[in-house]
Structure 1
Amino acid sequence: MNAPDPYLRQARRRAIAPPVSSLDTPPPDTAALAALILRVSQMRDRTAYATLFKHFAPRVKAYLRRAGLDGAEAEEVTQEVMLSLWRKAGSFDPAIASAATWVFAIARNARIDAQRKRRGLPQAPEPEEEGQSPSAETLTLAFERETLVRAALDTLSAEQKQIVRLSFFSETPHAAIADALCLPLGTVKSRIRLGLARLRAALEDKT
């Protein structure tokens, strides 16, 4: 897959193995990452893209390796994910998901497509048959459940809410969450357990 231009190809190569001098630079925080994606979306900012690539590419590759892809395949899919970041930056909405959630959702879908392709399966899911649309009653109940869950989420701390959203709403693997948030895997699992316990208690109070 070709990069948008030679500059981006160069940025992609350097991002996989950043210079030693850059390792002492603190990683961008959540707000900074979101701002960088918006700069790519609105201004096609190549410097912002290079920073995002340097931050996310090694984390995405590590997640793909843990998910079962070999080194070459993981690197190839990582390149596809980061190119998707450049091309689809306009679809990122920080009000809906954090930068890490959005990027790892792209990575998860790319991993599934790669594994399906390896097995000779179609990449796109089969279209739903006609007549399978949910009823108005089903949609109403789903909306009511979603409202209750959102209200319960507001009772969690910011850290717990972020991890619960990543784990259960975006289906991000625990290892990928640890990579995205620069946290030990044990800390991620502990926060998920505590967050779910509080979420369950809050939902029981509302039902």
Structure 2
Amino acid sequence: MGKEEATPDAGEWVRLMLRIRDERDRAAFAALFRHFAPRVKGFLMKSGADAALAEECAQDVMTTLWNKAHLFDPSRASVATWIFTIARNRRIDLLRRDRRPEPEDLPWGPEAEPDQEDALALQQESERLRAALKALPEAQRELIERAYWGDVSHSEIAAETGLPLGTIKSRIRLALDRLRHAMK
């Protein structure tokens, strides 16, 4: 019988993650990769991805772990939770990408010019939206801009800002409600 490698405990995962974050330790990354990459691939396959896509996505998740290790905070999440949250977000991104029309499905040729009345109405509505955005509290406006114009997921915003995910979602919901009322 071959020698089996013991699975590290949660404390060891944190130590490895901190070595990646603080020292860019390749051996620590290799240990996390060996353990988590196959599990992330399995998770993605169970959620409907084919093997090739799951493999590609798992590689992307582990690359994100390396590149964004500075965002890991052991007081906010376990290493496994953090990695599987990244995987879940990548899966959502892939689903969104798959629902977008392919370039060959888009209409070709010049679009008809909108009539002046429609163009004026669109311009006025855009100005109202700009004013409504400007009237939002700065924290809410920043979150709306990051989520809708920066194409950043709520989880990524939470990781980048250090705010709880629920706070991010609440602030965005409040901001959207204010914008809805302002645009009536």
Q: TM-score range by the shorter chain?
A: 0.5 to 0.7
Q: Which residue of 2 aligns with 1:37?
A: 17
> Are 2:34 and 1:54 aligned?
yes
Amino acid at match of 1:39: R
Q: Which residue of 1 aligns with 2:66?
A: 86
Q: TM-score, normalised by structure 2?
A: 0.54
- Deviation, 1:26, is 1.6
- Deviation, 1:54, is 0.5
Q: Which residue of 1 aligns with 2:50?
A: 70
Give the unaligned 5+ runs of structure 2.
102-131, 138-164, 167-184
Q: 1:21 to 1:60 in 2, by over 3 A?
A: farther
Runs of 4 or more consecutive aligned structure 1 residues displaced over 2 Å after TM superposition: 129-133
SS of residue matched to 1:93? coil
Aligned Cα RMSD in Å? 2.9
Q: 1:59 to 1:132 in 2, by over 3 A?
A: farther
Q: 1:46 to 1:72 in 2, by over 3 A?
A: same
Q: Which residue of 2 aligns with 1:102?
A: 82
- Deviation, 1:132, is 6.4
Q: Which residue of 2 aligns with 1:139?
A: none
Q: 1:37 to 1:21 in 2, by over 3 A?
A: farther
Q: 1:66 to 1:35 in 2, by over 3 A?
A: same
Distance in 2 separating the partners of 1:52 and 1:21: 21
Amino acid at match of 1:116: R
SS of residue matched to 1:27? coil
Distance in 2 separating the partners of 1:120 and 1:27: 41
Q: Which residue of 1 aligns with 2:151?
A: none
- Deviation, 1:27, is 1.1
Percent of residue pairs bearing the same amino acid type: 47
Q: Which residue of 1 aligns with 2:7?
A: 27
Amino acid at match of 2:68: K
Q: 1:21 to 1:39 in 2, by over 3 A?
A: farther
Distance in 2 separating the partners of 1:35 and 1:106: 19
Amino acid at match of 1:112: I
Q: 1:116 to 1:94 in 2, by over 3 A?
A: same
Alignment of 1:106-185 (within 5 A): 106-120=86-100, 130=133
Amino acid at match of 1:46: R
Q: 1:29 to 1:116 in 2, by over 3 A?
A: same
- Deviation, 1:114, is 1.0
Q: 1:91 to 1:63 in 2, by over 3 A?
A: same
